[in-house]
Chain A
Amino acid sequence: MPRRSKEASHAPLLPLPLVEKLLSTAMSRGADFAEVYVERNTSTAASLDEGRIKSAQSGSVTGVGIRAIRGAQVGYAYSDDLDEPALLRTAQTAALIADGNREPGPVNMSRTPLPTYYQVRTPLASVDVARKIELLQKADGAARAYDKRVKQVMGGYADQTREILVANTLGHLAEDRQDLCRLSVQCVAFGKKGERRTGFYGGGGRVDFRFFEDFSPEQVGREAARQAVATLGAVPAPAGPQTVVLAPGWSGILLHEAVGHGLEADFIRKGTSLFAGKLGQKVASDLVTVIDDGTVAGGRGSINVDDEGNPGERKVLIENGVLKGYLYDHLNAKLTGQRSTGSGRRQSFRHAPLPRMTNTYLAPGDQTPEEIIGKVDRGLYCRQFGGGQVDISNGNFVFEISEAYLIEKGEITKPVKGAMLIGVGPEALKNVSAVGSDASHDPGLGTCGKDGQAVPVGVGLPTVRIDNITVGGTGA
């Protein structure tokens, strides 16, 4: 349950009188909105390779991004120099988007009370790096012990403590601390005749470091090793259209690519997405209800507040196959007479915000996974997945299958390699013919890229059956 946080009592990232001065300066040439975004990001990372900790690293980056908007026009400037003259120059640069002169009125800010969807008691930045390194060593040991054919193990641990302050000329002032961590392991298993197979697993989120007491590094190492060994001896994936069953969890990348991006309001406003103008229309099978939810407890994509100062929300995008809504940031909402859905996100102070997803998942159905698989005469069971990509105009999307098996007469049989799925968003979602009761989120590994900006996201999917989707592969 979300809780109201107490008003922040610590010193803000930038003195508030200076923030107000910067907002006034950004408005000085006649802009109708200005925003100051301050960020301090402290991160730690460690990597393991060939059985040893290769490096440990740490850094801290602080900066300010200033945006001025006039109508549909945006001026954006940023600075990593935090002294007042440098910041005032930055505000003046952003102000250039407007060409008039105006005596800006005073800005009176009040703090936005924020809900709390993650509460990391001890900032990850203050956890001793030795404990982070220990995770990698444990994962490495477990992966190697799993099977002697596992010859290469690479592990990575990364965390960040990101503090933000967003203030704008509507008077909003929001502050948040967004901790995020991730442990991941990649294994290579060596088979006969030079065959190599890989496995990849990990997880994390906006969680306390003690998350890894339950989500243990040994479990991560073993799962990565299992995947690599399981697909040794795999035959080439059969090419062409077929029935596929997707295992739950990270398979939610299907939604992220097939519909999520196409519902982002910048593409909708420009009319460049195939979902533009389709509100209220049937775009998927009745079984499909898609939700984007920034409020999942501890979720990798969760946000108490977005990077424009609006609280994170749970949004139903598609309900029983009918398109219900889009993902709005401040600018695109304002230009189209909508309200922000708390979807304005950015990689850092060096980037202007864009409408983005948070955690995107499919509501569960009522069939058990066994029932779903049992009814497939011939098809492909996709257990683990790689990355994906979409062309939002024609809706073509792909996602890579890293572990897959043939389904023959309702049974999971031989492993196959090199498979990939390709489809057109709405068509693929209309071909969803069964949805499992086993709702599941990914373990916290995802990063989404758009216009050169990377943000952490979550995805989720129960077991799902899709008919007649094209599988790329080299087999018959």
Chain B
Amino acid sequence: MSLLDTCEQLVKLARKAGAAEAEAYAERTRDASVRVRDGEVEQLEQASSKGIGLRVITGQRLGFSYGTDLSKEGLKELAAKAVALAKGAAKDPANGLPHGKDLGAAPAGDYDPAIEEISPEWKLQAAREAEKAARAEDPRVRKFDSTGAGDYLAQSAIFSSRGASGESRASYVYVYCSPVAEADGQLQTASWSDTRRKLSRLQPPEEVGRTAARRAARMLGARKPKTQRVPVVFEPQLAAGFIGGISSAVNGLLVHKKSSFLASLLGKRVASAQVTLVDDGTLEHGIATRPYDGEGVASRRTAVIENGILRSFLYDATTARKAKAQSTSSASRAWASLPSIGTSNFYLQAGKQKPEEIVKGVKSGLYVTAMLGSGADVVTGDYSRGANGIWIENGELAWPVQEVTVSGNLLQMLQGIDAVGTDLDFRSSTAAPTIRFAELVVSGA
């Protein structure tokens, strides 16, 4: 039976068990990876997996059950369980499945049959090449945390009693390398990876290895600078991490509860005019591109911040109903959990300055290349994160830095972005180019 048929069957069983509304979401995945060490296989892993989740609403009460047993008996049990659980939940008029014109499908994301055919030998070779290139790049790189390659295929289906019905699939291939550089008793690690939905778009494994090795080696000799207020530049991955934090601040549920620092600022200027933040489930070649979100609402593009003005929050169907807004197709989903608000492809639009120029404009400041900790607290607006990087002196990357934190206030940080780079690359579902904050507190010695 197809996944969609299984979903439909479960919805029927749930209706029979007494659910007023029912929605089933199922996934089937295949996962295969190879990890190498010193050119030899370290771990070979391969597996298939499946699961189904059932959301029911009855008398405005919500129940949810999930499992891996897709037999008729297994499904019957899930239906009975979800309906029984709903009886214990509170009535909430906002509970309800999306229906009518909200439902639908945008063009799907990439699916590459070539990824289905990737052999273990190909992955082994790719990982070996990455490791070898990393070793060749710098004599101080002799150890590795791990190096590997893998592929991942996912198939999902959704069916609801309110008209949702769809199937979607996605393919991913990836290579990663985490070398450790060593000199004078100091160890420095870095990792670099590339994930794509089309095999032909994957970065050559050697390049992944070389980039990782350079990033580890350039940190050798890192030391702690004095505590000071300076301009701070975030590399693209760290800039992506920063806007990932901002994505929780535009979560419609937090906003509805007035628990985000952006809650009362819709239509206001919240960031520098160079900042345009977009969530786009329809992005071409995007890692998170999908025909519909986790509850069947057609994917779309939503400008969250446009030229510094806060334009929209992100909603799933339930929260939209509560806040008298529209779903922005922002329901994230896995089979073992209820939908919740999340992003699809979430990115900071590229700016006009080359990354080199952004660094050149700094007399003394920090270029951040790695971070520790979660950092952004969108409820209070506080931001503080551990950082490693390179000190900038007179516009040049001068010496490596570790054991510092960068701190600020999220709203002031957004407003203080004074440069946005041209180097936007969609390496992950959340992406950003190089950015510069006019001034942050760097705590060190």
Identify the A interface with B (CB < 8 A).
46, 49-50, 52-63, 72-80, 90, 93, 96-97, 129-130, 133, 151-152, 188, 190, 194, 196-198, 239-241, 267, 270-274, 350, 352, 386-394, 396-400, 417-420, 422-424, 470-474
Q: Decide yes or no: A76 and B45 within 8 Å by CB, A62-B68, A272-B143 being known contacts.
A: yes
Given A350-B47, A387-B374, list of 18 further CB < 8 A pairs?
A58-B85, A59-B66, A73-B40, A78-B47, A79-B48, A80-B68, A198-B377, A270-B37, A272-B145, A272-B189, A387-B373, A390-B372, A394-B186, A394-B219, A422-B404, A424-B402, A470-B404, A472-B405
Q: B76 in the interface, Cβ–Cβ < 8 Å?
A: no
Please state if A240 and B187 are interface contacts (CB–CB under 8 Å).
no
A-B contact count (CB 8 A): 244
Task: For the complex, give the distance between the alpha carbons of A367 and B15 in Å.
Answer: 64
In the complex formed, the residue of A with least CB distance to B256 is: A50
Q: B395 in the interface, Cβ–Cβ < 8 Å?
A: no
In the complex formed, the residue of B with least CB distance to A198 is: B379
Please state if B42 and A74 are interface contacts (CB–CB under 8 Å).
yes
Please state if A393 and B373 are interface contacts (CB–CB under 8 Å).
no
Task: For the complex, give the distance between the alpha carbons of A273 and B187 in Å.
Answer: 8
Please state if A56 and B386 are interface contacts (CB–CB under 8 Å).
no
Q: B277 in the interface, Cβ–Cβ < 8 Å?
A: no
Number of contact residues on B: which range applies?
35 or more
Q: B51 in the interface, Cβ–Cβ < 8 Å?
A: yes
Q: Which residues of A contact B385 (CB under 8 A)?
A: 398, 420, 472
Q: Which residues of A contact B200 (CB under 8 A)?
A: none
Q: Which residues of A contact B186 (CB under 8 A)?
A: 394
Q: Which residues of A contact B258 (CB under 8 A)?
A: 151-152, 190
Task: For the complex, give the distance between the alpha carbons of A58 and B63 in Å.
Answer: 9
Question: Pick the contact of B384 from A50, A190, A472 — CB < 8 Å?
Answer: A472
Q: Decide yes or no: A420 and B403 within 8 Å by CB, A53-B90, A57-B85 being known contacts.
A: no
The residue among A198, A267, A270, A394 with the most chain B CB atoms within 10 A of its own CB is A394
Q: Which residues of A contact B42 (CB under 8 A)?
A: 72-74
Cβ distance B19 to chain A, nearest Cβ, rounded Å:
14
Please state if A473 and B403 are interface contacts (CB–CB under 8 Å).
no
Cβ distance B386 to chain A, nearest Cβ, rounded Å:
4
9-residue interface stretch from B104-112, B289-297, B351-359, B406-414: B406-414
Task: For the complex, give the distance between the alpha carbons of A90 and B47 in Å.
Answer: 8
In the complex formed, the residue of A with least CB distance to B387 is: A422
Cβ distance B403 to chain A, nearest Cβ, rounded Å:
5
In the complex formed, the residue of B with least CB distance to A420 is: B384
Please state if B45 and A57 are interface contacts (CB–CB under 8 Å).
no
9-residue interface stretch from B238-246, B266-274, B437-445: B437-445
Please state if A270 and B90 are interface contacts (CB–CB under 8 Å).
no
Question: Pick the contact of B45 from A130, A352, A393 — CB < 8 Å?
Answer: A352
Please state if A73 and B41 are interface contacts (CB–CB under 8 Å).
yes
In the complex formed, the residue of B with least CB distance to A423 is: B403
Task: For the complex, give the distance between the alpha carbons of A56 and B55 in Å.
Answer: 10
Q: Decide yes or no: A394 and B49 within 8 Å by CB, A57-B85, A194-B264 being known contacts.
A: no
Please state if B405 and A424 are interface contacts (CB–CB under 8 Å).
no
Offer 23 A-B interface pairs, CB within 8 angstroms, sorted by A. Answer: A50-B257, A55-B62, A56-B62, A57-B85, A59-B67, A60-B69, A72-B42, A74-B43, A78-B47, A93-B46, A97-B44, A152-B259, A240-B227, A241-B445, A396-B372, A396-B402, A424-B403, A470-B403, A470-B443, A470-B444, A472-B386, A472-B443, A473-B441
Cβ distance B152 to chain A, nearest Cβ, rounded Å:
13
Cβ distance A312 to chain B, nearest Cβ, rounded Å:
25
Q: Is the interface of A mostly helix, strand, loop or mixed?
A: strand
Q: Which residues of A contact B144 (CB under 8 A)?
A: 270, 272
Task: For the complex, give the distance between the alpha carbons of A153 and B37 in Å.
Answer: 49
Q: Which residues of A contact B370 (CB under 8 A)?
A: 391
Question: Pick the contact of A240 from B68, B403, B444 — CB < 8 Å?
Answer: B444
Task: For the complex, give the distance between the alpha carbons of A396 and B219 in Å.
Answer: 13
Q: B397 in the interface, Cβ–Cβ < 8 Å?
A: no
Please state if B338 and A55 are interface contacts (CB–CB under 8 Å).
yes
Question: Pick the contact of A152 from B189, B224, B257, B386 — CB < 8 Å?
Answer: B257
Task: For the complex, give the distance between the alpha carbons of A470 and B443 in Å.
Answer: 7
Cβ distance B193 to chain A, nearest Cβ, rounded Å:
13
Please state if B380 and A398 are interface contacts (CB–CB under 8 Å).
no
Q: B188 in the interface, Cβ–Cβ < 8 Å?
A: yes
Question: Pick the contact of B373 from A77, A96, A389 — CB < 8 Å?
Answer: A389
Task: For the complex, give the distance between the alpha carbons of A97 and B120 in Å.
Answer: 11
Cβ distance B112 to chain A, nearest Cβ, rounded Å:
23
Q: B11 in the interface, Cβ–Cβ < 8 Å?
A: no
Cβ distance B420 to chain A, nearest Cβ, rounded Å:
23
Q: Which residues, 405 to 445 on B, are CB-close (under 8 Å) to A?
A: 405-409, 441, 443-445
Please state if B85 and A129 are interface contacts (CB–CB under 8 Å).
yes
Q: B169 in the interface, Cβ–Cβ < 8 Å?
A: no
In the complex formed, the residue of A with least CB distance to B253 is: A49
Q: Which residues of B contact A419 (CB under 8 A)?
A: 384
Task: For the complex, give the distance between the alpha carbons of A60 and B89 in Å.
Answer: 20
Q: Which residues of B contact A130 (CB under 8 A)?
A: 88
Q: B180 in the interface, Cβ–Cβ < 8 Å?
A: yes
Cβ distance B156 to chain A, nearest Cβ, rounded Å:
16
Q: Which residues of A contact B64 (CB under 8 A)?
A: 55-58
Task: For the complex, give the distance between the alpha carbons of A403 and B92 in Å.
Answer: 34
Please state if A396 and B441 are interface contacts (CB–CB under 8 Å).
no
Q: Which residues of A contact B261 (CB under 8 A)?
A: 196
Please state if A472 and B406 are interface contacts (CB–CB under 8 Å).
yes
Q: B391 in the interface, Cβ–Cβ < 8 Å?
A: no
Please state if A74 and B44 are interface contacts (CB–CB under 8 Å).
yes
Q: B315 in the interface, Cβ–Cβ < 8 Å?
A: no
